[in-house]
């Protein structure tokens, strides 16, 4: 597909590098020449130095023939304007990055009136993902599919849980819960486990099923399913704001520590249920004074990655608090598995996954739509959900007769609101929504899973 | 240096060369020559060496600019060495150093020869000589990147190292598509020329060889007397196609995209054409007494100018006998070269343009020290980095030139010969003046001089840096 991306900041770059890997024809516009040459020098993309809101720059970049336009500049207003201009000149789809809560309140109105096909909000998406984890702190990461009716819960196995040193088939036999262990991450490798696979200590397993079933499953194996009672958020930026709103709605107490007086005032005006503390949340004294030792959760959301990481490591060394660390740069993702951190969220990854999901569904609309797509285990595996819209070579055949490619697993079939963890005799029918986990780089859409 | 990647790509280069070598093999079969088998043998050698080298796909990507430059320099050297083998096997050019010189001259689209009797060669060898022009003209790595996914997006670095001009731009976002477009334009131009030559009554073999020599701006002929005895109409056609080959290919791309206004206002192309016209006119007046008619005078003047400014090196007359003034103008043409982003050699018009504009800017700065001004080409501000690298290129060019001339002077030939022999090879021209003039050849030189000139030819084609990188010991180091 021909894609034009305006803005090559961290978010823009994350999107570009993800889409280049998929082999799309990409043109990037940015008004900073140095940034274009240093960041994109080695990538197979075309760069234009120019303003994203200038009609002539868009024309030069070939907007008329583009299939997709993505505005990912720093300012919301610029992005919106740029998307509107693109739509005027071309029939392309538009994706707009909007992050301010002011616009997010009326997002449906904006999308309709300005004819924007998709709005991406890294801060909101990150906050949603973090909120899910604080509601089930035992999980490392929770990916949701089919409007939260199916969850993929990542859990790090320790000695205390009853899952350690057991074969997958034995675990399945010993539980009545309708779930499936769909993937295992071990030593930076991702496995799609067969029945004989033995779960070891330190593995991160991915369990798929309806939320109730998944929680039941973990409870049975001695994992706490209680939500965090109170959470400290260090850094009251946009992500922190969205997270606070979300957590308070589910009855979790929140304390925000921010070092900017004006920001604290703003937060105090807009969120009446939360405690707002003006102070430097990255100092030991303030953290302890504000009750780190009794907190159930800590979100390190300052704008500096290094501080977030230090803060989380310090917290883990003092208490057993559940930490979530926000990291914007994703150059050194490999090292995080070695640090004793619970959950690390990458806002740029979350966004680039969503864009990729949109691009894939634009690309492969033949009979099935990709609803959600998540990259797993440092991009080595993927999970996606799909709606089956028409008859194809995969419908109506019992799964045991299907010749699936290596490392592909059909995890869940959802039919008329009911979830099935599929067995050998189940079939996929038209109208089903299917979740697939795979660690096979050849698989791009549903049609690819067969040999 | 990441040797895994370097070997892998070299392997692919040799595999590609083994396929290219099948063309002269087929030609040899058609003419029933024994030389054909030496081409098949070499193709086999290349294939085996290529498969061995690319057996293991490198785990670590790591094709950075350094590796890109390195592998391009080394790749062209490998191609020249392996491409020289069939000449030796078939006994057409028994001495290896001569064969290497001839192949490097072909690949680098120089067209300088060590042969005094070209017509004695087998058709297979004649074809291979000209065919290397076709390969070298647009570039082998560009060709490979059109076909192979190779090492993902990093292959951009290969094209950067192989393409000509101060700043390499892709025509379309994807390297693969850019390479395809470039080759499509290149081959389409060749096809048109070949058809016209056929229509003018040239045999198929001759038309093909002249076409390869023209569009690759190479210059290997197939006759002992060059193009002297060809029909005037054929000379006109070849002359015009040489000029067209020296034009920046982005002009053709813009024309394909129907942006004619933009295409015809490219400053570099305008300067190039203006330079040709002015040179043709002044040489025409200067040599008018030597030829019988106006048509003949203009034809010879035009042909020589277009041949030398595009660094092709074909000749229709012995310009070594022209008045000194004309020879000086020709030398100027040789130095300037064709447009960036074409198949021609030389310093390139765009660099000349940037140089003149920076000189002009310097003047302005002298008069108005507080002035802030930018160098523009086609209305777009030229990056300071590009200006700087252009200056560095010119300086490097002069250094390489001086050192080469110094080494060639060990031959103890006259100054004109040593000066123009380096010019002719470093700028991928072919013939020089005096002892290496259009009717003479490089055969009399010692092996050492031939090696130096071989190096100059490859260095000139790859715009110096890649070839210099491979003679620096530091770049061979595995670690820092």
Q: What is the ipTM of this complex?
A: 0.80
Per residue in B45-64, is it b (16+ CB within 10 Å) or e — as a string?
bbbebbeebbeeebeeeebb
Verify whether the Cβ–Cβ distance A46 to B170 is below 8 Å.
Answer: yes
Residue B153 has pLDDT above 70, yes or no: no
Mean pLDDT of chain B: 89
If one compares B145 and A131, the residue with the highest pLDDT of the two is: A131
Distance CA A18, CA B87 (A): 49
d(CA B449, CA B471): 17
Query: Per-residue pLDDT tens for A284-321?
Result: 899 999 988 889 999 999 999 999 999 999 998 888 89
A68 and A42, same domain (yes or no): yes
Asked if the C-beta of B170 comes within 8 angstroms of chain A's C-beta atoms, the answer is yes
- What angle is formed at CA B73 by the lines to CA B72 and CA B79, rounded to 5 degrees? 85
Nearest CA among B349, B344, B243, B346 for reference residue B303: B243
Using CB atoms, pick whichever of A26, A41, A42 lies closest to residue B173.
A26
The angle subtended at Cα B192 by Cα B189 and Cα B197, nearest 5°, is 125
Model pLDDT, residue B480: 66
Mean predicted confidence (pLDDT) in B154-178 = 77
Residue B348 corresponds to which tokens in the numbers above?
């390139």
Interface check for B257 against chain A (CB to CB < 8 A): the answer is: no
Between A162 and B72, the more confident residue is: B72
Give B359's contacts (C-beta < 8 A, 6+ positions apart). none
How many Å apart are CA B247 and CA B243, to the nearest integer? 7
Other C-beta atoms closer than 10 Å to the C-beta of A349 total 22
The boundaries of the domain holding residue A60 are 2-120
Which of B95-99, B153-157, B231-235, B459-463 is the least confident region? Answer: B153-157
Determine which of A415-419, B107-111, B264-268, B297-301 has the lowest per-residue pLDDT on average: A415-419
pLDDT band at A379, cuts 50/70/90?
Answer: confident
Is residue B152 predicted with pLDDT exceeding 60? no
Token digits for B398? Answer: 């002069």
Same domain, A301 and A335: yes
Using CA atoms, how far apart are residues B284 and B302, in angstroms rounded to an integer? 8
Confidence band, pLDDT 50/70/90 cuts, at residue B450: very high
Instruction: Judge whether A221 lies within some domain.
Output: no
Q: Find the closest chain B residue to A19 by CA distance.
A: B153
Give B327→chain A minimum CA distance, Å.
43
B169, two tokens: 């731009």
**Max avg pLDDT among A210-214, A279-283, B236-240:** B236-240
Who among A2, A33, A44 is closest to B156 (CB)? A44
Q: Is A81 on the interface with B (CB under 8 A)?
A: no
- How would you classify residue B464: left for phi > 0, otherwise alpha for psi between -120 and 50, otherwise beta? left
Distance from CA of A16 to the nearest CA of B (A): 12
Question: Do residues B80 and B103 make contact, with C-beta atoms less than 8 angstroms apart?
Answer: yes
State yes or no: pLDDT of B251 exceeds 70.
yes
Residues in B closer than 8 angstroms to A63, CB to CB, are none
Q: What tokens were used for A240?
A: 């922190």
Q: How far is A141 from chain B (nearest CA, A)?
A: 30
pLDDT digits (tens, 9 = 90+) for B181-222: 999 999 999 999 999 999 999 999 999 999 999 999 988 888
Asked which of A73, A101, A120 is the last residue of a domain, the reply is A120
- CB-CB under 8 Å, A46 with B153: no
Name the token pair of B307.
């041949």
Partners of B170 on chain A (C-beta within 8 Å) are 46
**What is the pLDDT averaged over residues A419-431?**
83
C-beta atoms of A44 and B157 within 8 A: no
**pLDDT score of A367 more than 70:** no
A429, part of any domain: yes
B165 to each of A275, B348, B456, B457, how far by Cα in Å? 63, 7, 17, 17
Inter-CA distances, A236 with A208, A301, A312, A325, B476, Å: 33, 7, 16, 14, 52
Q: Is the pLDDT of residue B44 over 90?
A: yes
Q: Which of the 8 DSSP states describes residue A414?
A: E
- Do A382 and A310 sit in the same domain of this protein? no
CB contact under 8 A, A44 and B175: yes
Do residue A16 and residue A84 come from a single domain?
yes
User: The whole model's pTM is what?
Assistant: 0.85
- CATH of residue A328's domain is 3.40.50.720
Q: How many CA atoms lie within 13 A of A410 on its CB side?
A: 31
Residue A68 in contact with residue A4, Cβ under 8 Å?
A: yes
Q: What are phi and psi of A325, to 5 degrees?
A: -115, 125
| A368 confidence band (pLDDT: 50, 70, 90) | low
Q: What is the pLDDT of residues B46-61, one digit of tens each?
A: 999 999 998 887 776 6
Provide CB contacts within 8 A for A159, sequence distance 6+.
A201
What are the chain B neighbours of A33 within 8 Å (beta carbons)?
383
Cα dihedral across residues B360, B362, B367, B373: positive or negative = positive
Tell me, yes or no, if A310 comes closer than 8 A to chain B by beta carbon. no
**Distances in whole angstroms, Cα of residue A267 to Cα of each of A250, A275, B55:** 19, 9, 61
CATH code of residue A375: 3.30.70.1450
Q: Quick one: closest CA in A to B154, which residue?
A: A42
Q: Cβ separation of B153 and A43 shorter than 8 Å?
A: yes
Residues A404 and A322 in one domain: no
Where among A120, A146, A168 does a domain terminate? A120
DSSP character string of B27-83: HHHHTT-THHHHHHHHHHHHHHHHHHHTSSPPSS----HHHHHHHHHHHHHHHHHHH
Q: Give the pLDDT band of residue B148 (cuts 50, 70, 90).
A: low
Of B154, B155, B174, the CB nearest to A25: B174
> Quick one: A328 and A360 in the same domain?
no
Number of Cβ pairs closer than 8 Å across A and B? 31
Report the residue from B154, B176, B383 with minimal CB separation from A42.
B154
A60 lies within 8 A of chain B by CB: no
- My answer on whether A317 and A416 are in the same domain is no
Phi, psi for residue A46 in degrees, rounded to 5: -100, 140
Q: Is the pLDDT confidence value at A27 over 90?
A: yes
Q: Across residues A114-125, what is the average pLDDT?
A: 91
Contacts 24+ apart (CB under 8 A), A395-400: A395/A427, A395/A428, A395/A429, A395/A430, A396/A427, A396/A428, A396/A429, A397/A427, A397/A428, A398/A424, A398/A425, A398/A426, A398/A427, A399/A423, A399/A424, A399/A425, A399/A426, A399/A427, A399/A428, A400/A424, A400/A425
- Assess if residue A168 is contained within a domain: no
Measured between beta carbons, which residues in chain A are less than 8 angstroms from residue B173? 2, 25-27, 44-46
A25: closest CA of chain B, how far (Å): 6
**What is the sign, positive or negative, of the torsion defined by CA atoms of A110, A116, A118, A122?**
negative
Count of structural domains, chain A: 3
Distance CA B155, CA B145 (A): 7
- Is the distance from CB of A76 to CB of A99 less than 8 angstroms? yes
Nearest to A380 by CA among A324, A311, A334, A317: A334
For residue A224, give the 3-state DSSP assignment. coil
Token representation of residue A392: 């194809």
Do residues A242 and A269 both lie within one domain?
Answer: yes
A207 to chain B, closest Cα gap in Å:
32
Contact yes or no for A46 and B156 at CB 8 A: no
Nearest CA in chain B to A33: B383
- Tokens 């965090």 locate to A228
Instruction: Indicate whether A334 and A406 sit together in one domain.
Output: no
**Which of B154, B157, B173 faces A25 most closely, judged by CB atoms?**
B173
Are A13 and A97 members of one domain? yes
Question: Is B156 in the A-facing interface, judged by CB distances under 8 Å?
Answer: yes
Question: Residues of A with CB below 8 A from B177's CB?
Answer: 25
Does A45 lie at the interface with B, CB-CB under 8 angstroms? yes
For residue B150, pLDDT over 70 is answered with no
Does the pLDDT at position B293 exceed 60? Answer: yes
Q: Tell if the CB–CB gap between A27 and B177 is shorter than 8 Å.
A: no
- Chain A contact for B175 (CB, 8 A cutoff): yes
**CB contact B154 to A (< 8 Å):** yes
Q: Using the CB atoms, write b or e for B434-443: b if 16+ within 10 Å.
A: bbbbbebbbe
Within an 8 Å CB–CB cutoff, is residue B172 touching chain A? yes
Chain B interface, best mutation among A44, A56, A60, A67, by max B CB count within 10 A:
A44
pLDDT at position B211? 94
CA distance B258 to chain A (A): 14
| pLDDT at position B221 | 87
CB of B180 within 8 A of CB of B194? Answer: no
The contacts of residue B75 (CB under 8 Å, 6+ apart) are: B9, B10, B13, B140, B141
| A78 part of a folded domain | yes
Answer yes or no: is A249 within a domain. Answer: yes
State both tokens at A364: 């492969």
Strands A297-300 and A322-326: parallel
The beta-carbon neighbor of A42 closest among B157, B173, B176 is B157
Find the CB nearest A45 among B157, B173, B383: B173
Shortest CA gap B479–chain A (Å) = 21
Please report the residues numbered 10 through 29 in chain A whose beta carbons come closer than 8 angstroms to any beta carbon of chain B: 20-21, 25-27
- Residue A13's alpha-carbon distances to A18, A307, A376, A379, B60, in angstroms, are 8, 23, 19, 16, 22
Q: A261 lies in a domain? A: yes
Q: What is the dihedral of CA A17, A21, A25, A27, to 10 degrees?
A: 10
Contacts of A334 in chain B (CB under 8 A): none
Which position has the higher pLDDT, A331 or B305? B305
The sheet with strand A275-278 has its strands ordered as A275-278, A253-258, A230-234, A297-300, A322-326, A343-345
Are A407 and A383 in contact by the 8 Å Cβ rule? The answer is no
The beta-carbon neighbor of A46 closest among B152, B172, B383 is: B172
One domain, residues A10 and A111: yes
Q: Are strands A368-376 and A141-145 parallel, antiparallel or unpaired?
A: unpaired
**pLDDT digit string, tens, across residues B369-379:** 998 888 898 88
A148, part of any domain:
no
Say if CB B423 and CB B413 are below 8 A apart: no
Whether A333 and A364 share a structural domain? no
Q: Look-up: residue for tokens 């330190």? A: A202
Looking at A289, A313, A345, the residue that finishes a domain is A345
Tokens describing residue A208: 């798929």
Strands A2-6 and A25-30, sheet pairing: parallel
Q: Which residue of B153, B157, B177 is in closest CB contact with A20?
A: B153
The three-point CA angle B156-B162-B163 to 5° equals 85
Cβ atoms within 10 Å of A7's Cβ, excluding its own: 27
Task: List phi, psi (to 5°) of A47.
Answer: -120, 145
Distance between CA B474 and CA B467 in Å, rounded?
A: 14
Q: Tell whether B383 lies on the interface with A, counting CB pairs under 8 A.
A: yes
Nearest alpha carbon to residue B91 among B43, B125, B47: B125
How far is CA A215 from its chain centroid? 20
Tokens encoding A300: 């390190």
Helix axes B22-30, B123-138, angle to 10 degrees: 150
Is residue A147 in a domain?
Answer: no
- Ramachandran region of residue A378, left (φ > 0), alpha (ψ -120 to 50) or beta? left
């Amino acid at each position: 597909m021909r894609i034009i991306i305006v803005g090559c900041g961290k978010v823009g770059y994350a999107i570009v590098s993800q889409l280049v890997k998929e082999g799309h024809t990409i043109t990037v516009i940015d008004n900073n020449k140095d940034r274009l040459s240093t960041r994109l020098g080695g990538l197979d993309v075309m760069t234009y130095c120019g303003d994203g809101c200038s009609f002539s720059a868009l024309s030069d970049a070939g907007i008329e023939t583009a299939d997709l336009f993505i505005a990912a500049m720093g300012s919301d207003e610029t992005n919106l304007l740029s998307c509107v201009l693109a739509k005027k000149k071309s029939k392309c789809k538009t994706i707009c990055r909007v992050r301010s809560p002011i616009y997010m309140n009326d997002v449906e109105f904006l999308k309709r009136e300005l004819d924007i096909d998709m709005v991406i909000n890294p801060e909101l998406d990150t906050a949603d993902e973090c909120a899910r984890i604080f509601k089930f702190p035992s999980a490392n990461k929770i990916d949701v599919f089919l409007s939260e009716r199916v969850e993929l819960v990542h859990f790090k196995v320790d000695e205390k849980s009853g899952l350690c040193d057991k074969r997958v088939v034995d675990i399945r036999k010993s539980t009545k819960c309708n779930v499936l262990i769909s993937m295992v991450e071990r030593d930076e490798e991702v496995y799609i486990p067969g029945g004989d696979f033995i779960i070891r200590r330190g593995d991160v397993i991915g369990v798929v099923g309806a939320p109730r079933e998944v929680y039941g499953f973990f409870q049975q194996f001695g994992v706490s399913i209680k939500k965090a009672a109170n959470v400290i958020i260090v850094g009251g930026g946009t992500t922190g704001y969205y997270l606070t709103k979300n957590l308070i709605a589910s009855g979790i107490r929140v304390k925000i520590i921010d070092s900017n007086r004006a920001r604290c005032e703003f937060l105090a005006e807009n969120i009446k249920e939360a405690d707002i503390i003006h102070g430097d949340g990255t100092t030991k004294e303030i953290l302890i004074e504000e009750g780190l030792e009794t907190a159930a959760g800590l979100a390190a959301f300052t704008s500096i990655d290094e501080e977030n990481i230090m803060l989380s490591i310090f917290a883990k060394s003092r208490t057993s608090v559940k930490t979530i660390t926000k990291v914007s740069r994703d150059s050194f993702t490999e090292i995080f598995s070695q640090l004793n951190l619970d959950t690390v969220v990458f806002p740029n990854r979350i966004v680039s996954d969503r864009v990729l999901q949109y691009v894939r569904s634009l690309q492969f609309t033949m009979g099935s739509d990709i609803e959600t797509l998540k990259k797993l285990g440092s991009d080595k595996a993927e999970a996606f959900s799909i709606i089956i819209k028409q008859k194809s070579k995969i419908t109506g055949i019992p799964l045991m007769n299907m010749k699936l490619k290596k490392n592909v697993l059909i995890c869940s079939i959802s039919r008329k609101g009911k979830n099935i963890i599929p067995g050998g005799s189940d079939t996929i029918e038209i109208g089903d929504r299917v979740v697939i986990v795979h660690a096979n780089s050849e698989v791009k859409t549903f049609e690819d899973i067969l040999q | 240096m990441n040797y895994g990647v370097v070997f892998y790509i070299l392997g692919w280069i040799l595999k590609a060369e083994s396929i290219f070598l099948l063309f002269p093999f087929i030609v040899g079969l058609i003419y029933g020559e024994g030389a054909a088998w030496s081409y098949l043998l070499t193709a086999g050698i290349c294939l085996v060496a290529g498969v061995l080298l690319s057996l293991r796909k490198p785990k670590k990507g790591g094709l950075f600019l350094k590796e890109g430059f390195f592998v391009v320099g080394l790749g062209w050297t490998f191609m020249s060495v392996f491409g020289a083998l069939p000449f030796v096997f078939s006994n057409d050019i028994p001495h290896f150093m001569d064969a290497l010189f001839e192949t490097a001259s072909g690949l680098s689209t120089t067209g300088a020869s060590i042969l005094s009797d070209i017509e004695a060669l087998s058709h297979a060898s004649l074809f291979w000589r000209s065919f290397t022009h076709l390969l070298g003209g647009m570039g082998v790595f560009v060709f490979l990147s059109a076909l192979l996914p190779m090492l993902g997006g990093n292959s951009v670095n290969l094209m950067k190292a192989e393409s000509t001009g101060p700043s390499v731009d892709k025509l379309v976002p994807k390297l693969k598509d850019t390479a395809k477009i470039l080759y499509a334009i290149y081959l389409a131009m060749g096809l048109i020329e070949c058809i016209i030559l056929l229509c003018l009554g040239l045999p198929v073999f001759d038309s093909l060889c002249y076409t390869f020599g023209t569009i690759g701006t190479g210059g290997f002929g197939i006759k002992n007397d060059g193009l002297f005895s060809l029909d005037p109409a054929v000379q006109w056609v070849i002359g015009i196609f040489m000029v067209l080959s020296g034009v920046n290919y982005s002009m053709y791309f813009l024309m394909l995209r129907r942006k004619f206004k933009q295409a015809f206002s490219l400053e570099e192309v305008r300067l190039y054409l203006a330079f040709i016209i002015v040179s043709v006119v002044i040489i025409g007046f200067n040599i008018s007494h030597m030829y019988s008619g106006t048509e003949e005078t203009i034809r010879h003047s035009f042909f020589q100018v277009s041949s030398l400014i595009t660094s092709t090196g074909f000749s229709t007359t012995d310009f070594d006998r022209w008045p000194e003034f004309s020879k000086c103008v020709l030398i100027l043409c040789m130095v300037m070269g064709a447009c960036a982003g074409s198949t021609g050699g030389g310093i390139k018009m765009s660099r000349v343009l940037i140089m003149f504009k920076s000189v002009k800017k310097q003047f302005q700065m002298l008069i108005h020290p507080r002035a802030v001004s930018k160098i523009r080409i086609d209305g777009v501000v030229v990056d300071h980095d590009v200006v700087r690298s252009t200056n560095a290129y010119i300086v490097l060019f002069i250094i390489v030139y001086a050192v080469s001339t110094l080494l060639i002077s060990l031959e103890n030939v006259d100054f004109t010969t040593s000066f123009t022999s380096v010019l002719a090879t470093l700028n991928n021209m072919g013939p020089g003046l005096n002892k290496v003039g259009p009717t003479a050849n490089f055969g009399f030189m010692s092996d050492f001089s031939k090696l130096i000139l071989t190096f100059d030819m490859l260095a000139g084609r790859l715009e110096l840096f890649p070839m210099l990188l491979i003679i620096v010991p530091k770049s061979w180091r595995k670690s820092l």
